Amino acid sequence: MYTSNADTNLYKRLGFTGSHPVIAFGNKHIKPLFKNTLGIAIILISIIVVSLLQWYVQRHLPLRDCLPYKVGNNILDLRKMPKDAVPDKYDYTFVYQKNGEKKEFTTSALPDSTWQFVDRKQVLIQKGKNNVPLINDFSFTTQSGNDTTEAVLTQQGEYYLLFVKDFVNYPSNWNRDLSLVNELALKKPLYIITSNYDLTNKRFNFQEGSGLKKNLIPIFTCDATAIKTAARSNPTLYLMNGAVVKHKWGWADFDNVLK
């Protein structure tokens, strides 16, 4: 049977037009298998890599240390205010009382001695910049409440700092810290920095189950957040030389300390 070009074109147009509903209806159900599989694979690999890095850091230390406590830094220097710091500016008013009347005075016009001081108000009038040290809230406190940071960090020669944030995520069924502390304390001064004095003192300074004191290791308390910043694994050991960080080990590397 003969079919003209016009008929052929008509059939093509009808076929194309008839396919529109199929394409429109099925488009949302058509998914490129390879593209989705590749996307899922990338997500899974990313999750695995991040999990492995987190696991590694919690046991060892970060592959690249970008924090102020990195090896070679002087902790005391970084606790100081930056040289180009611009302090905040405040305006002060003072509240005094006389014969039941309260009144506010400026610093340039304070009242005479017949007025009784009640309160002082401080208002920020200009925000400064670069006025926070790179290391702050990092201090060692004795059980009696004395700040011993300067005394520890200004000593001459090498010594160790063992950071024990707490015992929540502490390595379980692991006593390498105890044997290491005993070994190191015989070689150089060693201090333990923790946010939980009682549990730390019980672990390191008393014999298990007997309650008898061992060789007492000095223990100082420090803010838990500051310890977490300084010690990315719990526990972490520092070898110090004066106020300079000479070496650092995560708990999984404690066997390498004496090598």
Q: Is pLDDT above 60 for 6?
A: no
Q: Is pLDDT above 90 for 19?
A: no
**CA pair distance 112, 205, nearest whole angstrom:** 59
Q: CB of 236 within 8 A of CB of 251?
A: yes
Tens digits of per-residue pLDDT, 36-95? 777 776 777 677 666 656 655 556 676 677 789 999 999 999 999 888 888 889 999 999
Report the 10 Å Cβ neighbour count for 156. Answer: 7
The DSSP secondary-structure symbol of 129 reads B
**CA pair distance 93, 104, nearest whole angstrom:** 6
pLDDT of residue 60: 62
Comparing 30 with 236, which gets the higher pLDDT? 236
CATH assignment of 65-80+134-256, given 3.40.30.10, 1.10.10.10, 1.10.3720.10, 3.40.50.1820? Answer: 3.40.30.10
What's the whole-number mean pLDDT along residues 11-22? 50
Query: Pairing state of beta strands 244-250 and 236-241?
Result: antiparallel
The CA-CA-CA angle for residues 127, 133, 134, to 5°, reads 120
Choose among 19, 140, 133, 33: nearest CA to 80: 133
Q: CB of 74 within 8 A of CB of 243?
A: yes
Tens digits of per-residue pLDDT, 139-170? 999 999 999 999 999 999 999 999 999 998 88
As given in the structure block, the two tokens for residue 8 are 């052929």
Q: CB of 221 within 8 A of CB of 141?
A: yes
75: exposed, middle or buried (Cβ count in 10 Å: 0-12, 13-18, 19+): buried
Reported as a pLDDT band with limits 50, 70 and 90, residue 2 is very low
Tens digits of per-residue pLDDT, 217-257? 999 999 999 999 999 899 999 999 999 999 999 988 888 88
List, as one string, the DSSP characters of 133-150.
-SS-S---B-TTS-B-HH
Look at the block and give the residue holding tokens 């000593």.
155
The CA-CA-CA angle for residues 220, 143, 182, to 5°, reads 45
**CA pair distance 229, 223, nearest whole angstrom:** 10
Q: Is pLDDT above 50 for 11?
A: no
Tens digits of per-residue pLDDT, 94-133? 999 999 999 999 989 999 999 999 999 999 988 888 888 9
**CA pair distance 165, 169, nearest whole angstrom:** 9
The residue extents of the domains of the chain are 5-58, 65-80+134-256, 89-126
